[in-house]
Amino acid sequence: MSESAQNTAVTDERIKEISPLRKALIRPELGGMVGTVAVFTFFLLFAFDSGMFNAQGMMNWSVVSAQFMIIAVGACLLMIAGEFDLSVGSMIGFSGMMIAIFSVTLAWPVWMAIIVTFAMALAIGALNGWIVIRTGLPSFIVTLAFLFILRGFTIFLPQVIERKTIIGGVKDAAEGDWLAPIFGGKILQGFFQWMGDAGIIAVFERGTRQGQPVVDGVPMLIVWAIVLIIFGHVLLTKTKFGNWIFASGGDAEAARNSGVPVNRVKILMFMFTAFCATIFAVCQVMEFGSAGADRGLLKEFEAIIAVVIGGALLTGGYGSVLGAALGALIFGVVQQGLFFAGVESSLFRVFLGVILLGAVILNTYIRRIITGER
Partner 1 sequence: MNPEHAPIIQMKNIEKHFGSVIALAGVSVDVFPGECHCLLGDNGAGKSTFIKTMSGVHQPTHGEILFEGHPMHFADPRDAIEAGIATVHQHLAMIPLMSVSRNFFMGNEPVKKVGPIQLFDHDYANKVTMEEMKKMGINLRGPDQAVGTLSGGERQTVAIARAVHFGAKVLILDEPTSALGVRQTANVLATIDKVRKQGIAVVFITHNVRHALAVGDRFTVLNRGQTLGTAQRGQITPEELQDLMAGGQEMVELEGSLGGTV
The footprint of partner 1 on residues 342-371 (CB under 8 A) is 367, 370-371
Question: Which of residues 91, 121, 260, 281 is near partner 1 by CB under 8 A?
Answer: 260
Name which position in 198, 206, 373, 374 contacts partner 1 (CB under 8 A).
373
Least separation in angstroms between residue 361's CB and partner 1 is: 18
Tell me if 8 contacts partner 1 by CB under 8 A: no
Under the criterion CB under 8 A, does residue 247 sit at the interface with partner 1?
yes
- How far, in Å, CA of 214 to CA of 209, rounded? 9
Closest CA to 330 of 346, 307, 350: 307
Check binding of 22 to partner 1 (CB under 8 A).
Answer: no
CB of 373 to partner 1, least distance (A): 7
Residue 208 makes contact with partner 1 by CB under 8 A: no
Q: Does 19 contact partner 1 by CB under 8 A?
A: no
C-beta closer to partner 1: residue 243 or 290: 243
Q: Which lies closer to partner 1 via its Cβ, residue 247 or residue 277?
A: 247
Q: 3-class secondary structure for the chain?
A: CHHHHHHHHCCCCCCCCCCHHHHHHCCCCHHHHHHHHHHHHHHHHHCHHHCCCCHHHHHHHHHHHHHHHHHHHHHHHHHHCCCCCCCHHHHHHHHHHHHHHHHHHCCCCHHHHHHHHHHHHHHHHHHHHHHHHHHCCCHHHHHHHHHHHHHHHHHHHHHHHHCCCEECCHHHHCCCCCCCHHHHCEECHHHHHHHHHCCCCCECCCCCCCCCECCCCEEHHHHHHHHHHHHHHHHHHHCHHHHHHHHHHHCHHHHHHCCCCHHHHHHHHHHHHHHHHHHHHHHHHHHHCCEECCCCCCHHHHHHHHHHHCCCCCCCCCCCHHHHHHHHHHHHHHHHHHHHCCCCCCHHHHHHHHHHHHHHHHHHHHHHHHHCCC
Q: Which stretch binds partner 1 (CB under 8 A): 6-14, 87-95, 198-206, 304-312?
A: 6-14
> Which of 41, 135, 239, 364 forms a contact with partner 1 (CB under 8 A)?
239
CB of 134 to partner 1, least distance (A): 18
Q: Should residue 331 be labelled a site residue for partner 1 when binding is judged by CB under 8 A?
A: no
Q: How far apart are the first and last CA of the chain?
A: 39
Q: Looking at 255, 271, 324, 359, which residue binds partner 1 (CB under 8 A)?
A: 255
Could you tell me the smallest distance in angstroms from the CB atom of residue 226 to partner 1?
Answer: 18
Q: Closer to partner 1 at the Cβ: 181 or 250?
A: 250
User: Whose Cβ is closer to partner 1: residue 257's or residue 346's?
Assistant: 257
When asked if residue 254 is in the footprint of partner 1 (CB under 8 A), the reply is: yes
Beta-carbon count within 10 A of 356 CB: 16
Among residues 42, 250, 289, 356, the one that binds partner 1 under rule CB under 8 A: 250
Q: Is 246 an interacting residue with respect to partner 1 (CB under 8 A)?
A: yes
Letters for 291-330 (x = contact with partner 1 by CB under 8 A, - = none) are: ----------------------x---xx------------
By the rule CB under 8 A, 257 interacts with partner 1? yes
Q: Please give the residue ranges that form the binding site for partner 1 (CB under 8 A).
A: 10-12, 15, 18, 26, 234, 238-240, 242-244, 246-247, 250-251, 253-255, 257-260, 313, 317-318, 367, 370-373
